[in-house]
Amino acid sequence: MSQTYRNQLFLWMKSHVYRYSEAPFRLASGLESHHYFNCKEITLHPERLATLAECFVEEIIPKLGLDFQAVGGLTLGADPLAYSIALAYHRKGKLIYPLVVRKEAKGHGTGQQIEGFWKETKSCLVVDDVITTGGSTLKAVQALREAGISVTKGICILNREEGGSENLEKSGIQMESIFRKSEFF
Task: Quick: pLDDT tens for 132-183.
Answer: 999 999 999 999 999 999 999 999 999 999 999 999 999 999 999 999 999 9
- Confidence band, pLDDT 50/70/90 cuts, at residue 31: confident
pLDDT of residue 144: 98
| 79 annotated to a ligand binding site | no
136 labeled part of a ligand binding site: yes
The answer to whether the annotation marks 103 as part of a ligand binding site is yes
Domain boundaries 52-183, corresponding CATH code: 3.40.50.2020
Write down the pLDDT at residue 106: 67
Q: CA–CA separation, 147 vs 131, rounded Å?
A: 23
The response to whether 129 counts as a known ligand-binding position is: yes
Model confidence at 29, in pLDDT bands (50, 70, 90)? confident
The whole-angstrom distance between residue 96's C-alpha and the CA centroid of its chain comes to: 15
User: How crowded is residue 11: how many other Cβ atoms within 10 Å of its Cβ?
Assistant: 10
- Specify the pTM: 0.93
Domain positions in the chain are 52-183
| Strand pairing class (97-101; 70-74) | parallel
User: Which of the residue ranges 4-8, 31-35, 87-91, 110-114 has the most confident prediction, judged by mean pLDDT?
Assistant: 87-91
Flag whether 131 is marked binding.
yes
- Whether the pLDDT of residue 3 is over 80: the answer is no
